[in-house]
Amino acid sequence: MGELTTDLTTIDRAGQVLARQGVHCRAMSAHLEAHGSLHGSLGLVLLGLQPYADAALGTGRLVTDTLARVCDTTAYCASATFSAYVTADESAFDRLRRLGGDLDAGWNGAAAPVTSSPIGPADSSAPSSWGSTDSYLWESIASTQESVVEAIDAARGLLGDVSAWGGTGDAVSESVDATSYLVTPVASANVMEDLRWSAGLLLGSVDWVFEQLVGYSMLEELIFKPFAGDPRGVEKAAQAWSNVSAALQAVAANHAHLVSTTVTGWSGAAADAFRVSMAGISGALLKVAPLFDAVATAMGAVGLLIKGVCAGIGFGLRKLSQLLIEIAAELAVPGVGWGVLLATAYWKVETIFSIVRLVYTLIESLFDAIASFADAQAQAVGSLAIVEDLADGVFRRAGAAVS
């Protein structure tokens, strides 16, 4: 029979870490609700994307809400275990004190029962550059891996050999502050400014003056957004999904951290069962996080293509304005000017059709991106199945422990 060791402080602090993970998961759900939607960001071309975006948002929130309940349940079980041990210790302490008094044995008392030991802040948090508009979305995703890589590596393979687990000797603590990744998304500041000047110096200048007088960009509000959508809104929504993916990986790292830091102070069958559960939850979260990244990447692709469509429209407007200026100049010169107009008429018409074909090709690419987003939304549904299986196991074990 293996040695049984129970350090109540270890159990207490583990419960506090798990309670924090529930708070993090609820913050993820709120983050998606506030920033992960595409409402108000879609133009005429992308109306077909709205149902997929709404479905992905609903699934993402259901996943994070379910994970919050899972973390709350594991935290409750740890807290209940700690309370039961403390109650037993207090009862034994009182009995020994009364016995010592009855025997008049000069008993000086024993150590007082353990009280709760609050954990401090997390050992690490998101990099200071997290959420910066200077990096591309996929660079942000990569930096997530770097920031929690050690704790994530510790989670992999933990279910393989329980006997190989060894304690770190460190006190139980939270490894990563998951909520620190949930920064308010910020889109690139110069997107619409670049699109304005893609329409050419003449139209860009007119639009700039119009904005100074009226307060909004005519090209942006009357042409780009109604037709192709707002790339900034899509970019921010993509960043929100990437933020949640990073936070999920941080929560996975925190569960993995509990495996190594609870070994020294807590051993026995119950302790091993706890660590198996923590490793299982960590592994499930590591499967779910990439599916949120898939949604973020698909949204990012849509945002880039919206910029392409808007740039194509701007290019078309510039060419059309140049053609109109040329035609006006040629019509102003009777005879020679009219002759030049007739001689170049075919080229002008061909230029107009080329512009139309360019915009049409870009729109087709957007429809392809919508199809890719549908695939990403299906992957998000797959993440729900993983979390539901995880929750079912945790809730069953918690119910059995209570009964």
pLDDT tens track for 315-336: 666 666 666 666 555 555 565 5
Average pLDDT over every residue of 146-158: 53
The answer to the question of residue 49 being in a domain is: yes
Does residue 262 surpass a pLDDT of 90?
A: no
Does residue 114 surpass a pLDDT of 60?
A: no
- In whole angstroms, give the CA distance from residue 228 to residue 230: 7
The answer to the question of residue 215 being in a domain is: no
Supply the pTM of this predicted model. Answer: 0.72
The answer to the question of residue 327 being in a domain is: no
Secondary structure of the chain as H, E, C letters: CCCCEECHHHHHHHHHHHHHHHHHHHHHHHHHHHHCCCCCCCCHHHHHHHHHHHHHHHHHHHHHHHHHHHHHHHHHHHHHHHHHHHHHHHHHHHHHHHHHHHHCCCCCCCCCCCCCCCCCCCCECCCCCCCCCCCCHHHHHHHHHHHHHHHHHHHCCCCCCHHHCCCCCCCCCCCECHHHHCCCCCCCCCHHHHHHHHCCHHHHHHHHHHHHHHCCCHHHHHHHHHHHCCHHHHHHHHHHHHHHHHHHHHHHHHHHHHHHHCCCCEECHHHHHHHHHHHHHHHHHHHHHHHHHHHHHHHHHHHHHHHHHHHHHHHHHHHHHHHHHHHHHHHCCCCHHHHHHHHCHHHHHHHHHHHHHHHHHHHHHHHHHHHHHHHHHHHHHHHHHHHHHHHHHHHHHHHHHHC
Q: Residue 163: its pLDDT value, please?
A: 47
Q: Which domain holds residue 285?
A: 5-111+136-157+166-192+232-300+371-402
Lowest mean pLDDT among 252-266, 283-297, 389-403: 389-403
Average pLDDT over all residues of the chain: 71
| Identity of residue 163 | S
The answer to the question of residue 329 being in a domain is: no
The answer to the question of residue 295 being in a domain is: yes
The answer to the question of residue 128 being in a domain is: no
The answer to the question of residue 117 being in a domain is: no
* Domains contained in the chain, number: 1
The answer to the question of residue 178 being in a domain is: yes
Q: Residue 159: its pLDDT value, please?
A: 46
Does residue 348 surpass a pLDDT of 90?
A: no
